[in-house]
Amino acid sequence: MLIEELLSLIFSFGTGLAVLIIIVLKFSVKFVPQNRAYVVERFGKYHTTMEAGLNILVPFIDKVAYDRSLKEQAVDVASQAAITRDNISLVVDGVLYLKVLDPYKASYGVDNYVYAVTQLAQTTMRSEIGKIELDKSFEERESLNINIVNAINTASEPWGVQVLRYEIKDIEPPRTVLEAMERQMKAERDKRATILESEGERQSAINVAEGAKQAQVLAAEADKAEQILRAEGEAQAIIAVADARAKALETVGKVANTEQGQKAIQLDLAVKAIEAKHAIAKDSTVVLLPENNSNAASVVAEAMTIINTLNNTKAAVQ
């Protein structure tokens, strides 16, 4: 009976000890996931920062006060009103990408680092937009984002948080400004269309003028070539006629030096003289003839005398 009670007591003690050991292990062994950090406090004071892997705590003395994610986080920045340099009210919203670099500062440097960085982003965005005009806010969005990130990182360094980038999602100007911008863009498009149309007409007129000029040049060159060819043809014709006459005269001269040639010339002169007198008789009712030239024989004799005189003169010259 006593042995049974002793065994029961030992079994109960062993069971309690095992349960106690399990409880101690449960509270003392911590497995930290990847890209997370546990901030440990001992007696309410910061003790250490557990990184990814197996870590040991002292039960009932140490406790995990903060669980911080080391991943990049995307935080929406609520829409807010901002006034540009030229006094135009805009409604701007964005998205913030941040990352915890120091879990200790993120836990003890600020109460809520996400809220703090978001508020800082809003105030910085209002300040940066106030430095530029409305037109520049649309054109220089990239530089605006960079300026906001640099300003936030400078202010959030004590919080152990780094802002990787900031993106403006939407910029909404007032309705009146939108209507004015639409009218301005329409006027600009009309202006470009008018300029392009005038440039087209100008180029068309230039092309037409160039075509007319080239046509006139070609016509003048064709006329010039035609005149040159005509002149060359006329010159060749004159030369050919002169050559023909020269050859005819040369042939006549050769024949005239013969007896038959002399007789042919006498006969030709007599015929021409008779024809001339007949022509005079037709045109006039009165014909005066010399006494010694009243018949054809005397006319021929007179012509022969002239020819013989010419021949004698030619022989004397030679």
Rounded mean pLDDT of 243-251? 75
Q: Nearest to residue 68, comparing CAs of 146, 160, 3?
A: 160
Q: What angle do CA 91, 124, 132 make, to 5 degrees?
A: 65
**pLDDT over 60 (residue 21):** yes
Q: For the whole model, what pTM was predicted?
A: 0.51
Q: How confident is the model at residue 293 (pLDDT cuts 50, 70, 90)?
A: very low
Task: Output the six-digit token pair for 45.
Answer: 């004071």
Q: Which residues pair with 171 in a beta bridge?
A: 92
Its sign, for the CA torsion 168, 81, 159, 68, is: negative
How many C-beta atoms lie closer than 10 Å to residue 44's C-beta? 8
* 91 Rama sector, left if φ>0, alpha if ψ -120 to 50, beta otherwise: beta
Correct CATH for 73-173 of 3.30.479.30, 1.10.3210.10, 3.40.1400.10, 3.90.1150.10: 3.30.479.30
pLDDT digits (tens, 9 = 90+) for 160-198: 999 999 988 888 887 777 677 777 778 888 888 888 888
Q: Where are the domains of the chain?
A: 2-69, 73-173, 257-317
Residue with tokens 């292990």: 25
Q: How confident is the model at residue 72 (pLDDT cuts 50, 70, 90)?
A: very high
Name the least confident of 167-171, 285-289, 310-314.
285-289
**Mean pLDDT across the chain:** 79
Helix, strand or coil, per DSSP, at residue 60: coil
* β-strands 62-69, 73-83 pairing: unpaired
pLDDT at position 3 = 65
Gap between the Cα atoms of 97 and 74, Å rounded: 5
* β-strands 89-100, 161-172 pairing: antiparallel
Q: Nearest to residue 89, comparing CAs of 171, 174, 179, 181?
A: 174
Spell out the residues 6+ positions from residue 167 whose beta carbon is closer than 8 angstroms to its own: 94, 95, 97, 145
pLDDT digits (tens, 9 = 90+) for 29-43: 888 889 899 999 988
